[in-house]
Amino acid sequence: MSAPPLIEVRNLRIYFPIRKGFLGPVQYVKAVDGVNLRLYDGSVLTLLGESGCGKTTLGKTIAGLYRPTAGEVLFRGKNIWRLSSSEFMIYRRSVQIVHQDPYAALNPTKTVFTILATPLKRWGIARTRSELVERVSKLLELVGLTPPEDFLYKYPHQLSGGQRQRVVIARAISVNPKLIVADEPITMIDVSLRLGILDLMLELREKMGTAYLFITHDFGAARYFSAKGGGRIAVMYLGKIVEIGPAEEIIKNPMHPYTQTLISAVPVPDPEISRKKKPIQLRSLDIPSPVNPPKGCRFHDRCPFYIEGLCDKEEPPLTEVKPLHEVACWRVIKR
Amino acid sequence: MPEPIISVRNLVVFYRGLRGYVHAVDNVSLDIMRNEVLGVVGESGSGKSTLALSILRILPKSARIVKGSIMFDNIDLAKAPESTLRKVRWRRISYVPQAALNALNPTLKIVDHIVETAKAHGVRDRRAVIEKAKELFEMLRLDPKRVLNSYPHELSGGMRQRVTIALGLILDPEVVILDEPTTALDVLTQRFILDLLKDLRRKINITMVFITHDIAIEADLADRVAVMYAGKLMELGDVYQIFKDPKHPYTQALIRSIPSLIGSVDEMKPIPGSPPDLVNPPPGCRFHPRCPLATDICRRKEPPLIELENGRIVSCWLYAPEEAKKVERQ
């Protein structure tokens, strides 16, 4: 038997209780509602979806920040919520997060050196002052903040957004994690610098073998990161993965009507192609509430291709229809 | 023959900051043509929003128009007194901000927003305004009955953005400036609003200025595109030309830096370096520290706005070799 994957997610459900009014009944927002996933060492997976689809909740649960309502997250085959405390610390160190907002992620009263030295001290990677300076300088070089002397004693407000995000990434890799959960890491970065941050993350993967779970709403960024990293894209809708496959396959040959609709709607930097595109028209523009998601296929009430009596009754399972390409749509499965 | 409706000439706008003056818009000249969609694209700090706020003269207190003119129907908006501006603002030139929650007053129903906005600009016929709002709501595919009686928090982001567009159009302006109106929206809502705007153009005579950081949106919507960088106009031209044959090295690099669904990912590249500090902008061309084609003159002297064929404007020494030689000899 082969080694267990780095992370495995089984039938994961995460529900958040809400109450309508003061005395109203408790209801549940089904943020993630039955997800199965495997992440292997050094692999790249992009979670792609609109706001409210559950992509961030799924990422945070994989990072151990939420406890699942049902299902499990396995780290090297072991449920992370049943690990011994020493095992749990290894897991904590192995999975790091990069958040969207580099302005909020760094303590404004600490220098870059202090920010980066803290995890090194915490994990006993470096102890003496000179060791720390050497380590931190190396990290800064790795993330392209050179010469490091120029950055060591700067405060976050003295850095640009792109530079701050590089510091955040340096902090994440400082403890040699196995997986980085990057939640919209380029959304707040200037357009011209975005690919630089994605390239940096991919470069670090080459050097350190880190796997990535990249979370984004941006189709172009999802394609770039996953295609360049030889990875997959998973499209989420209302707490479920509706389609997953190799990056270029998903972009060039999407099979789920939801993925097709989104791809047909994204503007592209070519007026001739962009204006000729015929966006697929949905039956309804509004995303249903994740409190009461539609029965059957969750997309059926908006889907222009739905089959009455099937899509609104039975939930389509995520099914491999081509090598590595899985789709949860009755039209595709039944073909 | 297209004629300009607004002509900006040599506009300079500074902000007073802690470290000195921020050169937010620096010597920008451009024409906005009647009934066109002019796309203004740039990264944060490029001056695109400052340009818009200058046209309406709704700049924050720390900003000052240092130089230049903004001609609109024989009025210089850069210098006009408040009393004149009041007759222009909203009634003739309106502004649609990004409809985050704070763009609308949370304590007012939408109907009150509309009536108050009209009243503030001298239109007091409540019934006529509401009739007009209903008509606009229909056009923007909002249910008038429901939306008029809602509070902002009861509407989705896409609906709120459509309400702010309706607010911008309520007094039948000749020009509407839309500042990042789709930035915070999901893909499908963005697509819906872009299609509505295209539809709107076909139905009413209006000039639109569409400001965004996402140049792909301009490819979809704009007739002409102005590219701004660090307070400067770098290039302006017909949308097809801008994308097919970008002249300015910045425009070329910007188009390459978009992670897109077309083309090969291997051809997409970030722009090296980072945007300049606008308190101490680099001498010469502001893009030269990041430009792969920069020569000595680019580091020393600012390039002029050069007119090419078909109303194309570019600010780069590459397109004025003769003049560049002359300057170099000096």
One domain, residues B252 and B187: yes
Q: Quick one: tokens of A81?
A: 């919520």
One domain, residues B144 and B205: no
- Whether the pLDDT of residue B41 is over 80: the answer is yes
Around Cβ A92, how many Cβ atoms within 10 Å? 17
One domain, residues B86 and B137: no
Q: Nearest CB to A190: which of B44, B260, B261?
A: B44
Dihedral sign from CA coordinates of B163, B164, B168, B171? positive
Pick from B19, B37, B187 the residue to mutate for testing the A interface (most A CBs within 10 Å): B187
Instruction: Examine residue A254 and state whether it is found in any structural domain, yes or no.
Output: yes
Nearest alpha carbon to residue B101 among B178, B182, B140, B157: B157
One domain, residues B12 and B59: yes
What mean pLDDT comes out for the span B112-121?
93
Is the bond into A294 cis (omega within 30 degrees of 0)? no
Domain extent at residue B137: 101-172
Written as one string, the DSSP assignment of B61-108 is: TTEEEEEEEEEETTEETTT--HHHHHHHBTTTEEEE----GGGS-TTS
Nearest alpha carbon to residue A220 among B213, B265, B215: B265
* Percent of chain B whose pLDDT exceeds 70: 98
> Are A235 and A250 within 8 A, CB to CB?
yes
Q: Which residues of B touch A158 (CB under 8 A)?
A: none
- Whether the pLDDT of residue B2 is over 90: the answer is no
Instruction: Examine residue B55 and state whether it is found in any structural domain, yes or no.
Output: yes
Domain extent at residue A223: 7-106+178-279
pLDDT at B128: 93
CATH number of domain containing A223: 3.40.50.300
One domain, residues B245 and B145: no
> Are A241 and A318 within 8 A, CB to CB?
yes
Strands A240-246 and A319-322 come out as unpaired
Search chain A and give the residue with CA nearest B189.
Answer: A285
Spatial distance between the Cα atoms of B182 and A286, rounded to a whole number of angstroms: 16
Between chains, do B257 and A271 touch, taking CB under 8 Å as contact?
no
Show the DSSP H helices in A230-276 as ranges. Answer: 247-252, 257-265, 271-276
Give residues 50 to 109 of B whose Cβ lies within 8 Å of A: none
pLDDT tens digits, B194-215: 999 999 998 889 999 999 999 9
Q: Nearest CB to A199: which of B187, B240, B270?
A: B270
Pick from B188, B198, B214 the residue to mutate for testing the A interface (most A CBs within 10 Å): B188
For residue B92, which amino acid is it? R
pLDDT at B310: 85
Search chain A and give the residue with CA nearest B212.
Answer: A191
Between chains, do A196 and B270 touch, taking CB under 8 Å as contact?
yes
Instruction: Examine residue A114 and state whether it is found in any structural domain, yes or no.
Output: no
One domain, residues B216 and B244: yes
Between chains, do B216 and A274 touch, taking CB under 8 Å as contact?
yes
In chain B, the number of structural domains is 2
Q: Nearest CB to B255: which of A225, A263, A269?
A: A269
CA distance B184 to chain A (A): 10
Which of B130, B146, B172 is the C-terminal boundary of a domain? B172
Instruction: Examine residue B317 and state whether it is found in any structural domain, yes or no.
Output: no
Between chains, do A269 and B186 touch, taking CB under 8 Å as contact?
no
> Are A94 and A41 within 8 A, CB to CB?
no
Q: Which residues of B touch A282 (CB under 8 A)?
A: 188
One domain, residues B18 and B105: no
Search chain B and give the residue with CA nearest A228.
Answer: B265
Q: What pLDDT tens digit does each residue of chain A (335 aa) get? A: 578 899 999 999 999 999 877 788 889 999 999 999 999 999 999 999 998 899 999 999 999 999 999 999 999 999 999 999 999 999 999 999 999 888 899 999 999 999 999 999 999 999 899 999 999 999 999 999 989 999 999 999 999 888 999 999 999 999 999 999 999 999 888 888 999 999 999 999 999 999 999 999 999 999 999 999 999 999 999 999 999 999 999 999 999 999 999 999 999 999 999 999 888 888 887 788 889 999 999 999 999 999 999 999 999 999 999 999 999 999 999 77
One domain, residues B157 and B268: no
